[in-house]
Structure 1
C-alpha cells in the first residue's frame, strides 16, 4: 500500500468520533464508507488517483449522512440515496480542493492538501473533476428507477447548490479585511458558502425519500439552521479549540483577513479603540499569529466569544425543533444529533 492509499490517523479519528457521538448513524456511515471505497479503489490512474487522495480516507461524511438520513426520516430507503449522497460529498471536497488553492493552505485533514502535494494546476483540475463527478453521481440514481422529474430535481438541486457555493465564495472574498461589512452580509455569505450544501443534502434526501411538502419544508428549515450553526461554530474553533476539528490550519482565517462570526460580533460590541485593533489585526501584512492573539484578546474583552456560543446554541436548537413534524425514528434522532454536534465541535 502506498502513502497515497494509507488512511491517516486524523481521518480515522473523525469518522470514529462521529460514530461515537451518533451511534444510530453507524449503519448509514458504514454503507457510505463501503460505497466510497468501492467507487474509488486503490491504483486509479491520472486525475482519479488525485481525486482518491482528496476523498479518502473519508472525513466525517456529514453531508452525505444528511442525504441518507433525510430520505429515511420521511420513510424512504437510504440505500437508494447513496449515489446522490456521495455526489454531495464530491461537490463538497471539490470545493475544499479549490479553497486550499485560493487560501494557499498547505494542510487538509492533517496531511498535505492536494495543492501542496500535487501542485496548483493538478489541484484545480481535480477540483473541477470532482464537481463533474458530483453531477454524474446524482444522475446515477437512475439505476433505482426514479421518476424522471424526481431525478431532474435531484440534479438541479445539486447544481443549484454548487452555484450558491460559488456565489458565497466570491462574497467572502469581498468581505476580506472589512470588519465593518456587517452581520447581514456575513450571514448571507455563510448561508451560500456553507448552508447551500446542507440545504441541498436534506432537500435531495427528501426528494429521494418521497417526502410530503410539509416534511420537505421541515428538513430544509433544519438544514438552514444547521448550516448556520456549523459555520458559526467553525469560525469559533481557532479561538476555542485545538484547531484540528476544522481540518485546516488554525491561523488560516486570520492570515487571510477574514472577518469571521465572532470577529463581527466583537466589532458590534467593541468601542472605537478595540475596533481599530481588530481592523489592524486583519489588515494585509499582519503576521497570522499576531493577528490571532489580538483578535482573541478583543473577543474576550467584548464578550463576543460568549455571545457567539449562545448564537450557535440558538441555531442548533432551532434546527432540532424543525424536526418535530417528522415521525420519531432512528434517522430523526441522527439528524437531531447532527444539530447538537455543532455546539461542541471542539470536544
Structure 2
C-alpha cells in the first residue's frame, strides 16, 4: 500500500482518504451500490443513502493496511473490508435511532428520511451483509479456515459492541461513576470494532497468531483513543470540522470522559451543576457554554487527552516488532493523527 509521509494531522487525513486503499474501497462501494439502483428495491436505496458518499473509511482502511502489514494483498480481502464498513454504518443508523439524532454526515439521518421501521431493518440487513462479505473472500483464494475464524472474531466484536451500548445507557446522567467503568464501556462499544477490523485483516492475510493478536491489541487501544477524542470534539473543535453536533452528548445526558474527570476534580457546587446539566437534558447555546466552562474550570479538558496519549502509546507498542513497511507506517501515522488537538 502507499506510504503516507506527511506529519500535519490535516495533511495526513487528506493523504489517507485519497490513498490507494481509500480509492480501492470507494471504487468497490460505487460498484456494489450503483446510483442506478432500482428504486423499487427500497432496502438497497436506503443502504446506498447510508453508505454513500462514504465517510473517512478509517475502519476498512485499517483492515486493508493490517493485511498488507503482515504480507497480505489488500485486493484479496477487499470484500471483507467493505463488510466492516457496512457494520460500522449499521451502528451509526442504529445510534441515530437510539439518540433521536436528525443529522448524520451533514445531511438528514436515515431514520428521518426513511422512517424508524425501515431504518431499523436497513441497519439489521447491513449487519448480515457484513458477514456475507467475509465469505466472498473465498473467490480470492482465502481459506475456509481463515474465513471461519474471521467470522467468529466479528461475531465476538458485535456482541461486545452491544454490551457496550447497553452499559452506556446504564451510565446516563451519572457523572460519579468510576472512570474505569467508563473505559470498559468504550472498550466494548468502540474498541471492539477497531480490534476486529485489524485482527480480521491479519487473519485473512494468513498471518501467524502472534501478529494477529498484536494487531488486535493495536486496534482496540486505537479505538478507545478514538472514542475519547470523539468525546472531546464537542468542546475542542467546531461542529463543521467535527462532523457532529456539539449538543448531542449533553442533550442525551451522556457521561463522557471529560464529564467524569470534571466531577472528580470539582467542588460541591461544580458537581451539582454537572448533575443538573446532565439530567436537565437541554443543550441550548447558553447551557452548552456553561457546561464547557465547567469542564475548563475543573481541568477536565486538559486531563482527558492524557488518556488518549496512554492508549495511543499502547497501540504503537504493538507495532514495534512488525517488519517495517509502508503499511506499518500508515498504521503508526493513524495513531499520530488520533492524538492531534485538531482534525
TM-score band w.r.t. shorter chain: over 0.9
Which ranges in structure 2 are unaligned for 5 or more consecutive residues? 1-9
Q: Which residue of 1 aligns with 2:171?
A: 175
Query: Matched residues in 2 for 1:294 and 1:185: separation?
Result: 26
Query: Matched residues in 2 for 1:208 and 1:199: separation?
Result: 14
Q: Which residue of 2 aligns with 1:34?
A: 27
- Say what the alpha-carbon RMSD is for the aligned residues: 1.8
Q: Is the 2:234–2:244 Cα contact (8 Å) retained in structure 1?
A: no
Query: Matched residues in 1 for 2:46 and 2:331: separation?
Result: 32
1:185 maps to 2:181: yes
1:147 maps to 2:143: yes
Q: Which residue of 1 aligns with 2:93?
A: 97
- The equivalent position to 2:231 in structure 1, one of 222, 232, 235, is 235
Task: Give the structure-1-normalised TM-score.
Answer: 0.91
- The equivalent position to 1:47 in structure 2, one of 33, 37, 43, is 43
Task: Give the structure-2-normalised TM-score.
Answer: 0.92
CA change 1:100–1:18 in 2 (3 A) is farther
Residue 116 (structure 1) shift: 1.2
Pairing of 1:1-347 with structure 2 (within 5 A): 20-22=13-15, 26-44=19-37, 45-344=41-340, 346-347=342-343
Residue 233 (structure 1) shift: 0.3
Residue 20 (structure 1) shift: 4.7
Structure 2 residue matching 1:325: 3-state secondary structure: coil
Query: Matched residues in 2 for 1:131 and 1:69: separation?
Result: 22
Query: Matched residues in 2 for 1:110 and 1:143: separation?
Result: 37
Residue 298 (structure 1) shift: 1.5
**Runs of 4 or more consecutive aligned structure 1 residues displaced over 6 Å after TM superposition:** none
Residue 343 (structure 1) shift: 1.5
Query: Matched residues in 2 for 1:42 and 1:242: separation?
Result: 32
CA change 1:305–1:24 in 2 (3 A) is closer
Q: Is the 1:281–1:294 Cα contact (8 Å) retained in structure 2?
A: no
Structure 2 residue matching 1:298: 3-state secondary structure: helix
Cα deviations by residue, 1:100-143 (Å, 9 ceiling, x for unpaired): 01101010000000011111122111111111111111121111
Q: Is the 1:74–1:215 Cα contact (8 Å) retained in structure 2?
A: yes
Query: Matched residues in 1 for 2:101 and 2:188: separation?
Result: 22
Cα deviations by residue, 1:231-277 (Å, 9 ceiling, x for unpaired): 00000000000124553322111100001011111111112211111
Residue 18 (structure 1) shift: 7.5
CA change 1:70–1:18 in 2 (3 A) is farther
Residue 288 (structure 1) shift: 4.4
Greater shift, 285-294 or 210-219, is seen at 285-294
Cα deviations by residue, 1:310-337 (Å, 9 ceiling, x for unpaired): 2212322321222011111110011111
Q: Is the 1:177–1:259 Cα contact (8 Å) retained in structure 2?
A: yes
Q: Is the 1:242–1:346 Cα contact (8 Å) retained in structure 2?
A: no
Cα deviations by residue, 1:50-75 (Å, 9 ceiling, x for unpaired): 10000001001100011100000001
Which ranges in structure 1 are unaligned for 5 or more consecutive residues? 1-16
Greater shift, 54-63 or 138-147, is seen at 138-147
CA change 1:246–1:287 in 2 (3 A) is closer
Q: Which residue of 1 aligns with 2:3?
A: none
Greater shift, 265-274 or 192-201, is seen at 265-274
